[in-house]
Chain A
Amino acid sequence: MTLPQVNFLAILPQIIVTATALLVLIVDAVDRRGAFSRRALSWLSLIGLLAAGAAVVWLVMQGGRQSFQDMAVSDGYSLAFSAIILLAAAMGVLLAKDTVDQFTRMPGAYYALLLLAVVGMMTMASATDLIVVFLSLEILSLALYVLVGFNLREPRSAEGSLKYFLLGAFASGFFLYGAALLYGASGSTNLAQIGQAMGAGGNEIYLYAGTALLVVGFGFKVAMVPFHMWTPDAYQGAPTPVTGFMSVATKTAVFAAFMRVFMQALPATQETWGWALAILAALTMTLGNLAALRQTSLKRMLAYSSIAHAGYALVGLVPGSAAGAVAVLFYMLSYALMNLGAFAVLVALERRGENDILRGDMHGLSDRRPGLAAAMAIFMFALAGIPPFVGFFAKFFIFSAAAEAGWIGLVVIGVINSVISAFYYLSVVVAMYFRSEKEAAPAAPVKARKSKDKAAPAPATPSAPVPQAPALATSQNAIRLAVVLAAIGTVAVGLYPAPWTAYITQAVQSVFGG
């Protein structure tokens, strides 16, 4: 018996990141609490991610499609998604570089889990077989469950982690059952072969039931209404660098697989799942935005906003067209830039022992830290979809792709939602620029800050400027770098979207045609 030739080039970035994760673990294990590993771990992770990024670029320049045993491929589509995931991971490492000691005593485990989640995400973006999609879904989920609960001092971190884990395990079951039914209907787990079998007409009951279950599995991971219940708690409880990383990278990876599965394996029933997804998208956008209006905690607000953004991106998937896929891919790029930027600002503002920022904390920020306030304003404008920032074009492409395919009603709902969302994004800008620190609500003691959703009523005592707790990070250089990079990206890609869309269009068309 001879084994078939194995093409390791197709999974080169994954191999590099896996090796880096193991190296981080070993360095941490050998030099525990040593001065060397303290600094080296974050650098090591960054270098590994950069090397993987270089591998991605190299594979892009090679062009063409490399297949790993027909299970995973490296093509323009998967590489574009991998690049966004690596970007998000690099930001996650930068944000944690100076703050990781504040929320954990095991920095090595933090970096290693982050890198392993990246491996799962990149594999998910390149999976061409339902088994591999499930496997990578599990790899990234298991790493994220732990990362969410990483802040041992914060009970909410554990709460979010447990909710995410219990519901996530349940959702994985849904996904696996859906994959089994699709296998029963078509006789294959390979996406292309399922597509062929379905084109020839398969068993409809298995097909529709399987499709619905897959929607549940994917929908849970991208925080789609009605599978979003875990999102606010997990995002708020998780250490802020983790929240930033997972909100962006998980969505990117899952949307990559979501689109590949539905457009490659199930194009025959697009009319049916298109309608189902359209309804879910409308629900997701509306509920996410309405709930975000009422939040006083910025992390929780961004969590609901990320639900809403999942809804916008879902609109691009509804028509099942190549134009829609291009729009979703561009949306993920822009969402990565602006959302990670917003979370980077939150990390910069967080104070020791706290894991959240209230809207009141933003009052008068333009006086205290003008640079940070300006950056936050850029991210908020971009998230609201105001030109010339990147968020505008992202929404524009999504809505025009949907309108082209005749989903006018859905586009109208999306535009109305953008207007609603502008209210809560801009209220942050108003707080930073038009409110002085004196009005700043509540010199609320730390305990009151930790209250749930609706903030505790402001104490009656008129607030004198509060002695501020020391900032979370002793050195903020890495965080500043992250903020600046995200801001530059948000503006630059917004002003010159052409080269990015050109590459993305080419990458998508090489996979889906059209």
Chain B
Amino acid sequence: MIQENFQFVLILAVVAFIFPFVGVAVAWLLRPKKPNKLKTTTYECGVETVGDTWSQFKAQYYLFALIFVIFDVEAVFLFPWAVAYNQLTLYALVEAFVFVGILFMGLIYAWRVNALEWQ
């Protein structure tokens, strides 16, 4: 029954929760402790941040990301369809075109309202 399967999930969850604590605790016990100024900074390497990190991003980045994700997901849905293409009926073929067609209309709209232009 399904409940037995869920018990493995529970065990996995418990182990996954404990695991990082064990790792950090063991490392803390074993490691030598010789701090210096450079070591205690947040980033030992990389570029120091300049100014306030709560700066505003241009909203268009999100717009582009959103449109990208839509087509990403479209691809995810189309892969299984393409793999099983040989065994599909006409109905499935039409259905996939309807799906792509609806997304295409969305793209046309986005293009017409100048969502694709960098302003």
Contact = CB atoms under 8 A, between A and B. Distances in A.
B113 A184 contact: no
Given A29-B112, A106-B113, A1 B87 contact: yes
B109 A3 contact: no
Contact of A25 (B1, B88, B91, B105): B105
Given A22-B102, A25-B105, A3 B89 contact: yes
Interface string B47-83: 0000000000000000000000000000000000000
A152 interface: no
Contact of B3 (A3, A26, A30, A184): A184
A32 B112 contact: yes
B92 interface: yes
B112 A30 contact: yes
Interface in A9-55: 22, 25-26, 28-30, 32
A22 B2 contact: no
A427 interface: no
B25 interface: no
B6 interface: yes
A446 interface: no
Interface residues of A, number: 20
B87 A3 contact: no
B108 interface: yes
A29 B3 contact: no
B113 A26 contact: no
Interface string A53-94: 000000000000000000000000000000000000000000
Contact of B91 (A3, A203, A206): A3
Given A184-B6, A187-B2, A206-B3, A32 B89 contact: no
Interface in A172-188: 183-185, 187
A26 B91 contact: no
Contact of A3 (B92, B106, B111): B92
Interface in B97-111: 102, 105-106, 108-109, 111
A26 B111 CA distance: 11
A6 interface: yes
A446 B22 CA distance: 61
11 contacts: A1-B84, A3-B88, A6-B91, A25-B109, A26-B108, A26-B109, A29-B109, A29-B111, A106-B113, A184-B6, A206-B3
Interface of B: 1-3, 6, 84, 87-89, 91-92, 102, 105-106, 108-109, 111-113
Given A29-B111, A106-B113, 7 more contacts: A3-B91, A6-B91, A28-B109, A29-B109, A108-B109, A184-B6, A203-B3
